[in-house]
Amino acid sequence: MNNHNETLSSAQPKPRFYYGYIILAICFCIMTLAFGAQYSFGVFFKPMLNEFNWTRAGTAGPAALYMGINGIMSIVSGRLSDRLGPRKVVTAGAILMGLGYILSSQATQIWQLYVYYGILGATGLSVMYVPVVSSLTRWFVHRRGLIAGIGISGIGFGIGVVPPLASKILEIYGWRTSMLALGLITLPLIVIMAQFLKGEPSPEEFSYQKHSQSEPFSQLQQGFSFKEAIRTWQFKVMFLAWVFYGFGFQTGQVHIVPYATDLGMTPMAASTVLVVIGLVGVFGRISVGFISDRLGNKRTFLIGFSFLTLSFVGLTVSDSIWMLYGFAVIFGAFSGIGILLSATAAEYFGYKDLGTISGAIVFANCLGGAIGPTLAGGIYDITNSYYLAFLGCAILGLATALLLWSLKIPLKNT
């Protein structure tokens, strides 16, 4: 019987081009624009701090709210993507995010930044990541880790390209013009790209993939429902682990530029730290995907979070510029461990409600990301140092590795 199926499969005409590669390219480009804009916040941090005379905790507040709203709405975006498809959802998100940056550029009071950047911009970003990445997961079965690494490496490319561009515009025209430019660029480009998104392949398109018989097309509709998944201890452990990951990742992203300027670097020179993080992150995310395909997600998590722990330990033992760039290389290489989020959700809970489940785990990531930068800013305001904040990130990185290593795939009652 299997031979007969293989004969039929081999007799099917091969497509001239697999549309999944269009999805891959769109994923890369959207990640570049959306997250490049988000991680430019560190560039605006001190100019806003100086203009409005806020505390570091207060200035980090809009970024923290951004992550919190992003996380809450990620659950909604996953559900919307499962029901409406990614095209409509991502289009709406691009409009909201672009408007958030445009309006933020005109802010004169801190509450306006909280509303425009922290709520409107965050809502827009939240309904882009999960739909795009969950679509990519559905379109590729073979070498999924590598494919996810390539697509989501757009985040690293965006971090390496967009913040320096924003910093250059800021240096010449000021932070308002720079933030306005982000909105005017991201809104139309992402809207256009979103029109080419498709939620999942047809049975014919799916059959063209080189995949094992253990993942037939019908499996795209199988697995845990969202309600079933959240009752498992695996989901609870995974949720907590991604809270810890978000805490460390966002603390590093938001505060590394202010920390660099504290060490005597100019704002433009400090932005080069983000360039290193971003560009190394491109190769890091692809490498993480490649490694996960060969070693599995659990071993890859253990390796990645161990190195992230070491990167923060380095910041606590030395305040030299060279150590700062050493941190940037290691952090950039392994912070992209987050690319495995959706793939891990698929591995443990199946495809049935993948968008919603992925959205819930993204919420965990964003929850940690909301707490981390604000707490780190508060620690600095009290101690005039980032030492305790960076030490906390190192401890949580190790805890994340151990939590994810403990996971076993849950059995579904039928």
Q: Is the pLDDT of residue 217 over 50?
A: no
pTM exceeds 0.75 for this model? no
Is residue 8 in a domain? no
Is residue 287 in a domain? yes
Is residue 24 in a domain? yes
Q: Is the pLDDT of residue 115 over 80?
A: yes
CA–CA dist 288, 150 (Å, integer)? 10
Is residue 78 in a domain? yes
Q: What is the mean pLDDT of the chain?
A: 81
Q: How many folded domains does the chain comprise?
A: 1
Is residue 211 in a domain? no
Is residue 205 in a domain? no
How many degrees, rounded to 5, is the angle at CA 334 between CA 58 and CA 339?
85
Candidate ranges 1-15, 219-233, 367-381; pick with highest mean pLDDT: 367-381
Sequential DSSP letters for 364-395: HHHHHHHHHHHHHHHHHHHHSSSHHHHHHHHH
Q: What percent of the chain has pLDDT over 70?
A: 89
Candidate ranges 8-12, 93-97, 166-170, 251-255; pick with highest mean pLDDT: 93-97
Q: Is the pLDDT of residue 380 over 80?
A: yes
Contacts of 195 (CB under 8 A, 6+ apart): 87, 91
CA–CA dist 338, 345 (Å, integer)? 12
Contacts of 199 (CB under 8 A, 6+ apart): 81, 85, 86, 87, 135, 138
Closest-CA residue to 151 (of 338, 344, 359)? 338
Closest-CA residue to 92 (of 104, 80, 83)? 80
Tell me what pLDDT residue 244 has: 92
Is residue 204 in a domain? no
Tell me what pLDDT residue 30 has: 93
Domain interval for residue 38: 19-198+219-405
Helix (H) or strand (E) holding 310: helix 297-317
Q: Which CATH number belongs to the domain containing residue 284 in this structure?
A: 1.20.1250.20
- Model confidence over 176-215: pLDDT tens digits? 999 999 999 999 999 999 999 887 776 665 555 554 444 5
Q: Among 80-89, 322-331, 347-356, 365-374, where is mean pLDDT lowest?
A: 347-356
**Cα-to-chain-centroid distance, residue 291:** 19
Candidate ranges 6-20, 130-144, 380-394; pick with highest mean pLDDT: 380-394
Q: Is the pLDDT of residue 304 over 50?
A: yes
Is residue 102 in a domain? yes
Q: Is the pLDDT of residue 9 over 50?
A: no
